[in-house]
Structure 1
């Protein structure tokens, strides 16, 4: 890896820059960190780039002195750093997956499920971030599961998200990219799918569990959460990339659920 002092510009997605800055601040060789735009962060590096190269919250690095155009370093692109993987047109953007995983606050030993895992982008992000987690993916599409297996995902099962093959209160974290109704599914189908998925997540989630759901069908999900009442939104994060503007919703148990279970 390079070992010198360089001024760098890192490109990410709109909605991830603050997380990228947080991780850069924890790196011993990185200094002079500042956000240039919604999608770019500048910094200076003194010494090895190992920590910087291992960071998964950006796509590309460009090198350039202050006031001069930066020149991208092709060998440090996302693809070169993390390898080529099998994808479908609706596969989760890899940096988006990294954002969702950070919002989930996964702990070593947690059982983490992606019930719409597709080709496994989120599963791989969980494994990269928390290697000691128990990472499981389910999907109703056998072809997508085959691609996920080819991408190195191990624990996979064919199942519908509204009928997961897990016991009650056995899942610590759920992280998933819901069907928006654009490339996959439809708004009409989501009217029944979203409430059914919330009921199932309520069933399998542990008492201190945490759910991260990404969607552009926002009003529909918010209404379904309000009607369900066992889960509540504790955080939201708007993401913008490739013309899409989905929101990541972080859910935990409600006080009403805690009172209900304590009476049993």
Structure 2
């Protein structure tokens, strides 16, 4: 079996921690950790430096960071009463690897072995020492919540959490993803809100099978069907919330294809939403999206948040109906 780093989430710690997230999600992360009593010491474009005192479990439950790290200069303090003291190594020593530290790499490795008694283990480690900090393997997002199957254009889990928050799903509401792919947004809607019904459509049967597997793995369910986003098999006004990662026209599709797809898909979204409906749509084909919204009856953009992932800078647009 592959080595899985372990940690005591009920351990009470006092530490300065670096939390990394997607640019655009920093405000949501800051709000999350402040609610836990953490003090924000510094903000970065893609993360926070915080002072945190308390059990690890509530902090690990946040969906808005994917990496937690410790300043390498503060490892001794962290080993005493911080997050490193909560590690549960499989052997007699903490396992570590050293990333791209340049000329300091070998000196750092020798220091961790001689000063802390750690075991250099590049292929099975508890701590990954990178220029930005000593990353705790057991607190990676995929370790905390499990890894989902992905399509080439699947939504990043942190971004999916932001989109779900923006959707403001109320208990019992019907939520639709007309470009569901592997079902990442449906999974997050099920886990972070209390929807009444989840609907997921896609043109690719293989993605629908993947979505079904992901939902089943997370203990959620949805009605999945092969359908065209330009011709949704849903009655008018029957969907309370729409969440979608639209084709950007880069990794998937093209701008030329989007020029026909966006008007048809947005017209359908406007049709299936009721007067108080709300859609959260992610795209990097921004000019086309804005122009299409302006030409689509009954909908308008009320909010835009620029996110970043994988070298792209898509925007999450919150779209509502203009009237009932």
TM-score, normalization by structure 1: 0.91
C-alpha deviation, 1:85, in angstroms:
1.8
Tell me, yes or no, if structure 1 residue 81 matches structure 2 residue 88.
no
TM-score (normalised: structure 2): 0.75
Q: Contact 1:20/1:58 (CA < 8 Å) preserved in 2?
A: yes
Other-structure match for 1:5: 14
Q: 1:25 aligns with which of 7, 21, 34?
A: 34
CA RMSD of aligned residues (A): 1.7
Larger radius of gyration: 2
Structure 2 equivalent of residue 62 of structure 1: 69
Gaps of at least 5 residues in structure 2 are 1-8, 76-131
1:73-104 Cα shifts (integer Å, max 9, x gaps)? 10010111111221122111111111111111
| C-alpha contact 2:171 2:195 (8 A) present in aligned 1 | yes
2:154 to 86, 91, 94: 91
Aligned residues of 2:227 and 2:233 also touching (Cα < 8 A) = yes
Deviation readout 1:167-204 (Å, 9 max, x if unpaired): 11010100100001111111111111101011111111
The within-5 A match list for 1:1-264 is 1=9, 2-27=11-36, 30-64=37-71, 70-152=133-215, 154-155=221-222, 156-254=224-322, 257-258=323-324
Partner Cα distance (1:119, 1:178) in 2? 13
When residues 146 and 224 of structure 1 are mapped into structure 2, their CA distance, relative to the original with a 3 A threshold, is same
- Following superposition, the deviation at residue 50 of structure 1 comes to 1.4
User: Partners in 2 of 1:212 and 1:152 — Cα distance?
Assistant: 20
Query: What number of residue pairs does the alignment pair up?
Result: 254
Please give the alpha-carbon distance, in whole angstroms, between the structure 1 residues aligned to 2:147 and 2:307: 24
